[in-house]
Amino acid sequence: MCACGVAELFAKEYVLGGKGGWPVFQQQENITTGKGRYGYDCIQLASNSFVFDEYTDLLIDFEDAQMPISNGDYTINRNNFQLTNQTKNEKAAGLSRNMGGLSISGQPGSFFGSEGLMGSFSIEFWLCPSIAENGEIVLNWESSRNEDGRLAFQVISGTFDKGHLRWELNNIFDLYVNEAGRNEVKLKGSSKIIPDVWSYHVLSFDCETGILEYIVNGITEDLTYITTTRSEGGDVSLVYLGTPSELAICSEYTGKIDDFRILRRPYTPPDFQSAENAGRVGHTQYLPSGGRFVTKPIMVSTGSVLNKLEAEMNVPTQTEVCYYVRSGENFYGWNEEYPEWKPVESGEELTGITGLYFQVAVELMPDGNGEQTPAITTIKLDFTELPEPLPPFIVKAVAGNGSVTVSWNYSVDDTAGGYYLYYGTRPGEYLGRIAIEGESPINVGNTSSFTVTGLENGKIYYFAVAAWSALDMRVVGNLSKEVFARPLARLK
């Protein structure tokens, strides 16, 4: 951020972003920084990452190398993940090199830290394998529970099998048996997982309907009913977890993983999807509502005129960036609606935007599929400052009886339209209030002499003069040199 002069007299520019970086915004919604042109930080839409809500049991976003768990009552037993910026969401993903991955244990009350009957759940994550080799393990949980005096071995596992992810859940559901008479469930994806391509995976169980399903990129690829009849309409068998034990994520896997989340509810598809994107990835990269930021009021100088807003930006097809500006001599009382925002185009010649403060608001919109974001590297505000007129060079003060007459030479600056006379009882502090003509400063108009009356005899007073602009009297120049005088009763 900088303010620097350009060739035209009194023309200035104020730069947001670029070499000086972006300031702290007054408001921001669903935006983040990325790499823009020339290597500078840009403002772009934040990815539609998973967020922690009332149903979330665990969220691992991999943004912190030491603590990849962003939310959830779990502790880390082992963490052999590295971070990579080749991410699906936000700025980092987990990189596993088949060295044990991440092992965590749930605290009492968490899904994998509790024993007994459980309700609905969903386990979801983004996956980008390097090779997708047979036997690679993405998720594994092993425990045991007591069934009528005998121990039943429990497993929830997700492993690669011929380019697909296969799920096995053994002795997880209470009173459930498959066609072979065993408490075992297997689900397998139908679409092949391609190395070095991100895909979205969900294992979901609905305790109301008994549906256990495996979803890839928003499409159900395998489904079964966990009911007494193994079909719709039977009595639902609930999840029954035994002794709490550790959950291993990517223990034998090479590749990337991002935004791993466990929810205490079944999977629900998003409530937005373009017609073109229907049936594709259910979790879009960017929210269709887009993002927005508002700068803090930018102080320039009184009466400044905004001539143009110019942005260095990248706007892919179907994406959009909308700019708004407003101005005023102060920002007290400003709110969302007042002063009114004026929509502007980058590079457009502007009129009627003047004041001591400028403010900028920007809206960013993704494409229809939520796959592309615009990016802004810099925003330049080109504006004109009204010149501050020079003060008078010669000022004199002559005391009288309860009064002082101050005189000066007219300013040599032809933009001076009149003068303010400042007075007070301490050097450099012009806080006078006693004069009949009014409080300091007194607008004396375009004159070169003025008598201040109603002053206290015997007390010394200090004076200075400043010129105001003929273009805008709110623009006031610097003070002249200080003069002083002491009113006395004997003076006429």
Same-domain check for residues 94 and 218: yes
Task: Assess whether the previous peptide bond of 441 is cis (omega < 30° from 0).
Answer: yes
- b/e sequence 122-138, b meaning 16+ C-beta within 10 Å: bbbbbbbbbebeeebbb
Give, as one character, the DSSP assignment of residue 236: B
Say if 402 falls within a structural domain.
yes
Same-domain check for residues 234 and 130: yes
What CATH number did the domain enclosing 404 receive?
A: 2.60.40.10
Say if 20 falls within a structural domain.
yes
Give the separation between CA 358 and CA 323, rounded to whole angstroms: 13
pTM here is 0.61
Say if 24 falls within a structural domain.
yes
Give the separation between CA 264 and CA 123, rounded to whole angstroms: 9
- Amino acid present at 380: K
Say if 51 falls within a structural domain.
no
**Residue-wise pLDDT tens digits, 97-153:** 999 999 999 999 999 999 999 999 999 999 999 988 999 999 999 999 988 888 999
Beta strands in 346-402 (DSSP E): 354-365, 375-384, 395-399
Residue 30 confidence (pLDDT): 87
Say if 149 falls within a structural domain.
yes
The Cα-based distances of 368 to 21, 47, 428 in angstroms read 30, 15, 62
Same-domain check for residues 358 and 457: no
Say if 69 falls within a structural domain.
yes
Helix-strand-coil percent breakdown of the chain, rounded to 5? 0, 50, 50
Parent domain of 335: 2-46+287-384
What CATH number did the domain enclosing 111 receive?
A: 2.60.120.200
Residue 282 confidence (pLDDT): 57
Say if 389 falls within a structural domain.
no
Q: How many other β-carbons are positioned within 10 Å of the β-carbon of residue 245?
A: 16
Look at residue 47 and tell me whether its pLDDT is greater than 50. yes
Compute CA 100 distance to the chain's CA centroid, rounded to the nearest angstrom: 34
Start-to-end C-alpha separation, the chain: 58
Locate 463 and state its tokens: 């004076």
Residue 283 confidence (pLDDT): 64
State the maximum Cα–Cα separation within the chain, in Å, rounded to a whole number.
Answer: 122
pLDDT band of residue 274 (cuts 50, 70, 90) is very low
Residue 270 confidence (pLDDT): 66
Contact 42, 321 (CB under 8 A): no
Give the separation between CA 390 and CA 116, rounded to whole angstroms: 83
Strand partners, 309: 381
Compute CA 401 distance to the chain's CA centroid, rounded to the nearest angstrom: 65
Same-domain check for residues 231 and 366: no
Give, as one character, the DSSP assignment of residue 176: -
Contact 418, 472 (CB under 8 A): no
Q: What percent of the chain has pLDDT over 90?
A: 69
Give the separation between CA 192 and CA 353, rounded to whole angstroms: 58
Contact 390, 467 (CB under 8 A): yes
Q: Last residue of a domain, which of 226, 248, 263?
A: 263
Same-domain check for residues 169 and 189: yes
Residue 50 confidence (pLDDT): 66
What CATH number did the domain enclosing 371 receive?
A: 2.60.120.260
Residue 9 confidence (pLDDT): 43
Give the separation between CA 448 and CA 452, rounded to whole angstroms: 13
Residue 5 confidence (pLDDT): 35
Contact 127, 136 (CB under 8 A): no
Same-domain check for residues 37 and 100: no
Residue 276 confidence (pLDDT): 47
Give the separation between CA 9 and CA 125, rounded to whole angstroms: 58
Q: Last residue of a domain, which of 332, 365, 384?
A: 384
Same-domain check for residues 103 and 249: yes
Give the separation between CA 280 and CA 273, rounded to whole angstroms: 9
The Cα-based distances of 286 to 62, 119, 292, 294 in angstroms read 19, 31, 13, 20
Give the separation between CA 400 and CA 474, rounded to whole angstroms: 32
Say if 492 falls within a structural domain.
no
Q: Last residue of a domain, which of 263, 278, 308?
A: 263
Same-domain check for residues 142 and 202: yes
Q: What percent of the chain has pLDDT over 70?
A: 94
Same-domain check for residues 216 and 118: yes
Total structural domains in the chain?
3
Give the separation between CA 110 and CA 80, rounded to whole angstroms: 23
pLDDT band of residue 91 (cuts 50, 70, 90) is confident
For 148, residues 6+ apart whose C-beta sits below 8 A from its C-beta are none
Look at residue 74 and tell me whether its pLDDT is greater than 70. yes
Give the separation between CA 91 and CA 23, rounded to whole angstroms: 20
Give the separation between CA 60 and CA 126, rounded to whole angstroms: 11
For 224, residues 6+ apart whose C-beta sits below 8 A from its C-beta are 185, 187, 211, 212, 213, 230
Give the separation between CA 110 and CA 105, rounded to whole angstroms: 9
Same-domain check for residues 79 and 105: yes
Give the separation between CA 472 and CA 453, rounded to whole angstroms: 28
Q: How many other β-carbons are positioned within 10 Å of the β-carbon of residue 429?
A: 11
DSSP assignment of 449-472: EEEEESPPTT--EEEEEEEEESS-
Give, as one character, the DSSP assignment of residue 227: B
Give the separation between CA 377 and CA 41, rounded to whole angstroms: 6
pLDDT band of residue 1 (cuts 50, 70, 90) is very low
**Residue-wise pLDDT tens digits, 365-416:** 999 888 899 999 999 999 988 788 899 999 999 999 999 999 999 998 888 8
Same-domain check for residues 165 and 203: yes
Same-domain check for residues 100 and 227: yes
